[in-house]
């Protein structure tokens, strides 16, 4: 009996050791606008696969520079589709792994309740002092904002009111304390489970600007990184989709 128990303990220990050896970490550079979804996804990814997702959050342009300088990331989740494509052309990614993991939604937002109407007519009334947007040359959300202004014929009217952030996070930071009455932000920054979580907002119709495609890619640091491939497959799968949609992204 003691012999059988000893064999069982040894077998269990061996099994635990094997599982521990199989589990690993994946280092992921994540566009800051995707912070909430990836944190939710990371919990289930670890539970379902045994692998740990270690995320670093920041601006896409900064990540590009870090990756070119050898930063130890396995997967890059960009805020656009152009930066991963550029890295791909420069030979810094695993060929054939680039894909669009989410399509962003633009929102006109104010921290004030009831300030922004459901159709965004507050923008046309032009009775505000400051309008925050992301840098249109560096961020797709900023470019989309300028396209909306052009479509509505407001470019000249608001040019002296625009407060430009380096990225969509900085645009949000201008609006959240009330320094700018209005701002074009990523819907994911103010939205969860089907509703705007604070202030008031106009969810900009997708046809008013070019698609805000956010691409992911496996980086060359570890071409045979099984965990990186497992994460990409997980992001494409049915478990991640509800989390991505719940923060206002499209697939």
pLDDT tens sequence across 18-75: 333 356 999 999 999 999 999 999 999 999 999 999 999 998 999 999 999 999 999 9
pLDDT at 9 over 80: no
| pLDDT tens column, 137-186 | 989 999 999 999 999 999 999 999 999 999 999 999 999 999 999 999 99
CA distance 96 to 109: 37
The per-residue pLDDT of the chain, averaged, comes to: 90
Supply φ then ψ for residue 3, to 5 degrees: -65, -45
The predicted pLDDT at position 223 comes to 65
Query: Where in the chain do CATH 3.40.190.10 domains reside?
Result: 2-103+212-246, 106-203
Report the CATH superfamily, name and number, of domain 106-203. Periplasmic binding protein-like II (3.40.190.10)
pLDDT at 1 over 90: no
Percentage of residues in the chain with pLDDT exceeding 90?
A: 84
Question: Average of pLDDT values for 178-199?
Answer: 93
* Domain 2-103+212-246 in this protein, CATH class: alpha beta
What pTM did the predictor assign?
0.84
6: confidence class by pLDDT, cuts 50, 70, 90 = very low
Question: Quick check: 132 and 165 in contact, CB under 8 A?
Answer: yes
pLDDT at 17 over 90: no
CA distance 142 to 150: 13
CA distance 186 to 79: 10
Helix (H, G, I), strand (E, B) or coil at 162: strand
Percentage of residues in the chain with pLDDT exceeding 70?
A: 90
221: confidence class by pLDDT, cuts 50, 70, 90 = confident
The predicted pLDDT at position 193 comes to 83
| pLDDT tens column, 98-150 | 999 999 999 999 999 999 999 999 999 989 999 999 999 989 999 999 999 99
The predicted pLDDT at position 148 comes to 98
pLDDT at 214 over 50: yes
Instruction: Identify which of 102, 96, 106, 41 has the alpha carbon closest to the alpha carbon of residue 77.
Output: 102
Burial 38-66 (b: 16+ CB within 10 A, else e): bebbbeebeeebebebebebebbbebbeb
């Amino acid at each position: 009996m003691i012999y059988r128990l000893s064999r069982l303990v040894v077998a269990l220990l061996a099994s635990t050791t094997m599982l521990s050896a199989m589990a690993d970490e994946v280092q992921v550079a994540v566009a800051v606008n995707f912070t909430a979804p990836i944190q939710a996804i990371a919990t289930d990814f670890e539970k379902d696969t045994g692998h740990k997702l270690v995320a670093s959050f920041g601006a896409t342009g900064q990540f590009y520079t870090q990756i070119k300088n050898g930063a130890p990331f396995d997967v890059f989740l960009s805020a656009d589709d152009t930066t991963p494509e550029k890295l791909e052309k420069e030979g810094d990614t695993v060929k054939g792994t680039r894909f669009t993991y989410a399509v962003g939604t633009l929102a006109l937002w104010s921290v004030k309740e009831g300030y922004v109407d459901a159709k965004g007519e507050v923008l046309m009334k032009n009775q505000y002092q400051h309008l925050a947007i992301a840098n249109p040359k560096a961020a797709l959300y900023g470019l989309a904002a300028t396209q909306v202004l052009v479509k509505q014929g407001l470019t000249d009217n608001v040019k002296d009111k625009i407060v430009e952030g380096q990225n969509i996070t900085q645009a949000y930071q201008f609006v959240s304390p009330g320094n700018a009455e209005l701002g074009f932000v990523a819907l994911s920054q103010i939205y969860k489970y089907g509703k705007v979580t604070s202030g008031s907002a106009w969810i900009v119709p997708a046809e008013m600007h070019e698609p805000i495609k956010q691409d992911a890619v496996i980086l060359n640091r570890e071409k045979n990184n099984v965990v990186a491939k497992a994460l990409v497959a997980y992001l494409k799968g049915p478990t991640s989709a509800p989390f991505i949609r719940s923060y206002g992204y499209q697939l």
